[in-house]
Amino acid sequence: MKIHEAEARELLARAGLPVPDADVATTAAGARAIAERLFAAGVPQVVIKAQVLVGGRGKAGGVKLAASAAEAETTAAAILALTIKDLPVRRVLVAPAATIVREIYLAALIDRTTRGVLVMASAAGGMEIEEVAAKDPAAIVREVAHPHGGLLPFQARRLGFGIGLRGELLKQFCLIATGLVKIARESDADLVEVNPLAVVPAPETPGGERLICLDAKVTLDDSALDRHPDLAAWRDADSEDPIDREAREQGISYIRLDGSIGCMVNGAGLAMTTLDLVTRAGGTPANFLDIGGGARADKVAAAMRIILADAGVKAILVNIFGGITRGDEVAKGLIEARAQQDRVVPMVVRIVGTNAAEAAVLLREGGFETATSLDEAAEKAVALAAAGGGK
């Protein structure tokens, strides 16, 4: 689950990291009121930022400076009227504008290759890290945090040194890098990214500089949200893909892929196997979908809606190994779903295990194409998709 910058900043601030004060508004007048407060406190300029769950807001015109309350209001109105990468801007963040000397990239993320929390830093901040990785991979330095100790002091220093920091800035950098790893761990985040981590003038020391977190992007592990009801409350369901949302609300694990064969399976392991067998049979899976154990007819029908919402699906493979899931319930769900659906896509059904015989009768009466072995099912699905213009 992605959370907005405003909430991500809150997580950073709670961990004691240097984040400028900010407030959010849903209207231009509200943004003006925040700006007025900041100007009254002596801030010379404010920054107004679109709160949408995508990066690259700056380039899309979603991050703008304003030097007066009136300008803040018109700028906020313009930003609130934007749609960035298909997402309408519903809120803006208003904060004192920083004078940026330099931009650094810093992130802590779950890395499946090293099975740890990977910390990445680059002196080429501001731009997206994928761009840096493509253009100048050597500009990114990495450390894998200790599984129990977090980012150890020598690791933090090595990172800071690696991107050219010395003295006071290095010291601050170490605290921030260590803090990001701690946040990732304590909030079960997949990603805690600060880009830019800005080098700004430090007014208290003439000629001095300090670091502040000017942007924050946090993605939380959906499977761990039960442990964090306070963080789960930050979900912005309106920005969620409607299909992902329906899947989540139905308790269906669904991951969209880009192939043409929709797969409906019970059990995560069997679903993975099914994708492999579709691929081996020469096809491309359109999704991973696990309807879970003991699914009833209505859940099967919901899964079918979710699969069919993907226009790339040319054929569907249903693979059910009945344990607590009853084959006849699934068959009823398929019949129900077919009566509701407006798009007709060829389907092959393999149901074995509990109540498979009852299921077979229902499927035969319903005129469904069936298969007994999984290989046969995969081959049939691939042939059906190919006949329909996919593979």
265, 125, 105, 251: which is closest to 192 by C-alpha?
105
Q: Which stretch binds ligand GDP (CB under 6 A): 93-101, 177-185, 230-238, 379-387?
A: 93-101
Between CA 123 and CA 105 the distance in angstroms is 6
Between CA 308 and CA 310 the distance in angstroms is 5
Between CA 20 and CA 105 the distance in angstroms is 17
244 three-state secondary structure: helix
Site for ligand GDP contains 98 (CB under 6 A): yes
HSE at residue 325, side-chain half, CA atoms within 13 A, is 26
| Nearer Cβ to ligand GDP (66/382) | 66
Site for ligand GDP in 116-145 (CB under 6 A): 126
Catalytic site residue from 5, 105, 143, 379 = 105
| 105 carries an active-site annotation | yes
Site for ligand GDP contains 64 (CB under 6 A): no
Site for ligand GDP contains 47 (CB under 6 A): yes
Site for ligand GDP contains 82 (CB under 6 A): no
Residue 95 has a CB neighbour count (10 Å cut-off) of 23
Candidates 57, 91, 314, 350; binder of ligand GDP (CB under 6 A) is 57
103 binds, among ligand GDP, Mn ion, none (CB under 5 to 8 A by kind): ligand GDP
321, 305, 302, 325: which is closest to 313 by C-alpha?
305
Query: How far from 354 is each of 260, 303, 324, 334, CA to CA, in Å?
Result: 29, 20, 7, 16
Site for ligand GDP contains 56 (CB under 6 A): yes
Site for ligand GDP contains 43 (CB under 6 A): no
| Nearer Cβ to Mn ion (195/325) | 195
| Shortest separation between residue 141's beta carbon and Mn ion, angstroms | 19
Site for ligand GDP in 210-229 (CB under 6 A): 214-215
Q: Which stretch binds ligand GDP (CB under 6 A): 51-59, 137-145, 168-176, 341-349?
A: 51-59
Q: For the chain, what is the total number of helices (H) and then of strands (E)?
A: 13, 19
Residues found near ligand GDP in the complex (CB under 6 A): 47, 49, 55-58, 63, 97-98, 100, 103, 126, 195-196, 214-215
